[in-house]
């Protein structure tokens, strides 16, 4: 078997890089992590992702791939141990449906609450509504993947951290324990899973970083 080389170009504060760390670790894959010193982008990054010039980028045996979700699907296909996506095509379709819903209707609304000065409460209300819809995908199970975590959990799990960051900086309510008890529970349980917990960026550092980010975003929107 030829020597396998796996590298991940990422950024400590990126939830998208986090998704890929989680996937690689769950599979027990050994990889080299390269931290990009954003906003300065390395020549390596620009070479590996000329289209979007963004992290994360997975480089497997010198072949680069960008876009976190398709990277995870790739990882799942190449390394068969501990499958992340369900085997059944219908269940896979449901998982992909919910990731899309989450990205377009939850994450984007949370981002909107974070970045649009004056419309925070309005956007947060929409985000809450959509998070409530997302909760239904749990179908009463502890994780989206069922009894153990799977693709959908690692795709959306970062929201447990970032929603709290946004709640604190912008003073909104997002993951509401009263109206979405199951989602709240899931979020807590997910972030306690040892492999998941090991990669969560330090809270204070992440909060400071996002406070700075918030200033930039809200100045731009006035």
Partner 1 sequence: MEEVKLHGFWPSPFSHRVIWALKLKGVEYEYIEEDFPNKSELLLKYNPVHKKIPVLVHGGKPIAESLVILEYIEETWPHNPLLPTDAYHKAIARFWIQFGQGKDYFRSFFQESGEEQEKAAKEILEMLKILEEQGLGDKKFFGGDAINLVDIAHGWLPLWFETIQEAVGVKLMEPTTFPRLHAWMLNFVQVDVIKQNLPDRQKLFAHMKNLRDKFVAPTIV
Beta strands in 4-147 (DSSP E): 6-10, 32-35, 57-60, 63-66
What is the spatial order of strands in the sheet that 32-35 belongs to?
32-35, 6-10, 57-60, 63-66
| Rounded Cα distance, 110 and 119, in Å | 11
Q: What track of x and - describes contact with partner 1 for positions 87 through 126 (by CB under 8 A)?
A: --xx-xxx-xx--xx--x----------------------
Q: Which of 19, 21, 54, 60 is the binder for partner 1 (CB under 8 A)?
A: 60
Distance in angstroms (rounded) separating the CA atoms of residues 66 and 70: 8
Site for partner 1 (CB under 8 A): which residue of 36, 73, 109, 167?
A: 73
Q: Can you tell me the distance from the alpha carbon of 194 to that of 197, in angstroms, rounded to the nearest whole number?
A: 5
Smallest distance, partner 1 to C-beta of residue 171, A:
27
Residues 40-59 that bind partner 1 (CB under 8 A): 50-51
Quick one: 78 or 198, whose CB is closer to partner 1? Answer: 78
The one among 5, 28, 32, 63 contacting partner 1 by CB under 8 A: 63
C-alpha closest to that of 121 among 176, 181, 179, 174: 174
Q: Could you tell me the smallest distance in angstroms from the CB atom of residue 207 to partner 1?
A: 29
Please state, as a whole number, how many other Cβ atoms lie within 10 Å of the Cβ of residue 36: 20
For partner 1, the closer CB: 80 or 192: 80
**Under the rule (CB under 8 A), what is the footprint of partner 1?**
50-51, 60, 63, 65-67, 70-71, 73-74, 77-78, 89-90, 92-94, 96-97, 100-101, 104, 133
């Amino acid at each position: 078997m030829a020597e396998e080389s796996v590298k991940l170009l990422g950024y400590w504060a990126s939830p998208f890089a986090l998704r890929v760390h989680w996937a690689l670790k769950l599979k027990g894959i050994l990889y080299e992590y390269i931290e990009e010193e954003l906003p300065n982008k390395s020549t390596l990054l620009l070479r590996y992702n000329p289209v979007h010039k963004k992290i994360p980028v997975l480089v497997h045996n010198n072949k680069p791939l960008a876009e976190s979700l398709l990277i995870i699907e790739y990882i799942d296909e190449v390394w068969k141990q501990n499958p992340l996506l369900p085997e059944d095509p219908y269940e896979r379709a449901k998982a992909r449906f919910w990731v899309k819903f989450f990205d377009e209707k939850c994450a984007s609304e949370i981002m909107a609450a974070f970045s649009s000065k004056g419309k925070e409460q309005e956007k947060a209300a929409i985000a809450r509504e959509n998070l409530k819809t997302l909760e239904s995908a749990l179908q009463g199970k502890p994780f989206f993947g069922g009894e153990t975590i799977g693709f959908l959990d690692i795709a959306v799990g970062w929201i447990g951290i970032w929603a709290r960051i946004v709640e604190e900086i912008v003073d909104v309510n997002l993951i509401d324990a009263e109206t979405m008890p199951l989602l709240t529970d899931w979020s807590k349980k997910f972030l306690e899973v040892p492999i998941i917990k090991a990669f969560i960026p330090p809270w204070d550092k992440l909060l400071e970083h996002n406070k700075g980010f918030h200033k930039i975003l809200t100045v731009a929107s006035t």
